Structure 1
Amino acid sequence: MTHEIRPAGDDDFFAWLPLFDGYCRFYEHELDDQKALTVWTWLRDATHPLEAILAFDEEGEAIALAHFRGVPDTLNATTAVFLDDLYVVPEHRRNGVARALIETVHSRAAELGTGGVSWVTSAANEDAQALYDSLARRTEWVTYEMDA
């Protein structure tokens, strides 16, 4: 199966929205209009670090997204990339789309700095971890969160 991967453009809101909604639902978060517009505004703002790429199938249907951003890597005095969100519609999983999105993000990281990419995933997301383990090194870092 072939697919095209490209940066999200100004006219891609209605292609991006159902993908972002699917991502939010996968992680049991509600997507309301305000949240969708806020994130889309970040993605379209050239001064905001968040970027998006989309994958399209042969018919031009949007089937996957990745959100990522350049972040300072103080230990190496360069810029790395953090992959915030990765989502592939269920019927297109296991056909190389997620791998291609991650590799595209990795290429973007090389443009910004050293080419390093990091991300986190749910401990319960074992299907994704199988792919991630084939692409990257699992770290020993522990993640903490403070509520607002």
Structure 2
Amino acid sequence: MPDLVIRPLEKADHAAWHELWTDYLTFYETEKPEEVFASTWERLFTPGEYEPRGFIALLDGKPVGLVHYMDHRTTWTVANNCYLQDLFTAPEARGSGVGAALISAVGRAAAERGITNVYWMTQNNNATARRLYDRVARHHGFIRYNLA
């Protein structure tokens, strides 16, 4: 049975993180300038209530997944919400429980901060991810709109 480890990102993970996040962005048919990579990496290690955080997944010691998440205030509760922004599992590791384990790690981290609402979005046509999400969470039927 493969050894799956989910742990917070560490500075030594930079190369693996960069590769995984690049693959995530490629999956969504987008790219970001190196300036965004550098800023995001720095912010992942900047203390602060609203700065992003991240976990990396290692399968038999090989980096195969990542997740970014951040807290934000809400008018609906006293506690913050937690937005799971980026979730990616390398193709060769899909179906091995990596995605579910990363989501679970975010849920546990949020609970440690007193947060009960962890949410995320995906594209409507991302059937593979939606099968996982339907198993581990509830879909509330909301549709996202952007001004720009």
Q: TM-score, normalised by structure 1?
A: 0.93
**Correspondence 1:109-120 to 2 at 5 A:** 109-120=110-121
Query: 1:11 Cα deviation (Å)?
Result: 1.5
Q: Are the equivalent residues in 1 in contact too, given 2:100–2:132 (CA < 8 A)?
A: yes
Query: 1:76 Cα deviation (Å)?
Result: 1.9
- The answer as to 2:103 corresponding to 1:96 is no
Query: 1:114 Cα deviation (Å)?
Result: 3.2
Percent pairwise identity: 32
State the one-letter code of the partner of 2:20.
Answer: L
Unaligned runs of 5+ in 2: none
Q: Secondary structure at the match of 2:130?
A: helix
Q: Are the equivalent residues in 1 in contact too, given 2:55–2:67 (CA < 8 A)?
A: yes
State the one-letter code of the partner of 2:88.
Answer: Y
How many Å separate the matches in 2 of 1:112 and 1:79?
9
- The answer as to 2:109 corresponding to 1:108 is yes
**Correspondence 1:54-133 to 2 at 5 A:** 54-58=56-60, 60-133=61-134
How many Å separate the matches in 1 of 2:97 and 2:74?
29
Runs (4+) of structure 1 exceeding 4 A deviation are none
The farther-off stretch of 137-146 and 93-102 is: 137-146
Q: Are the equivalent residues in 1 in contact too, given 2:82–2:115 (CA < 8 A)?
A: no
Query: 1:123 Cα deviation (Å)?
Result: 0.5
Q: In angstroms, what is the RMSD of aligned CA positions? A: 1.2
Deviations 1:64-119 (A, max 9, x none): 00000112232122122110000000000001010000001000110122322100
State the partner residue of 1:42.
Answer: 43
Deviations 1:1-22 (A, max 9, x none): 2211100012111111100000
Q: Provide the aligned length of Structure 1 versus Structure 2.
A: 146
State the partner residue of 1:19.
Answer: 20
The farther-off stretch of 78-87 and 105-114 is: 105-114
- The answer as to 2:55 corresponding to 1:53 is yes
State the partner residue of 1:141.
Answer: 142
